[in-house]
């Protein structure tokens, strides 16, 4: 099952966090772009508010699948 989010903006925002996670795991802390880190932190609550309804829908789907298994 492919996970699809209803908002393109939410998908793009999540892509940015995923890219950051990849860079963070691949670099040392002193190599990070701290202005980018601050920007991601500043947008975290807004991103969560956009993504949470989609995650709740996915959770409901998975619970239904599990209940039917």
Per DSSP, the three-state class of 1 is coil
Using the structure block, give the residue that is written with the tokens 């999540």. 14
pLDDT at residue 43 tops 60: yes
Torsion of CA 19, 20, 22, 23, to 10 degrees: 120
Helix (H, G, I), strand (E, B) or coil at 15: helix
Which of 1, 2, 10, 21 is closest to 53 using CA atoms? Answer: 10
pLDDT cut 70: percent of the chain above it: 84
User: With 80 as the cut, is the pLDDT of residue 57 above it?
Assistant: yes
Q: Would you state the pLDDT for residue 12? A: 82
Mean pLDDT rounded to a whole number for the chain: 82
Share of the chain above pLDDT 90, in %: 19
């Amino acid at each position: 099952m492919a996970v699809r989010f209803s908002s393109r903006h939410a998908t793009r925002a999540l892509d940015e966090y995923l890219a950051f996670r990849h860079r963070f795991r691949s670099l040392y802390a002193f190599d990070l772009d701290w202005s980018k880190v601050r920007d991601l932190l500043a947008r975290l609550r807004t991103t969560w508010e956009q993504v949470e309804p989609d995650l709740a829908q996915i959770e409901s789907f998975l619970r239904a699948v599990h209940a039917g298994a």
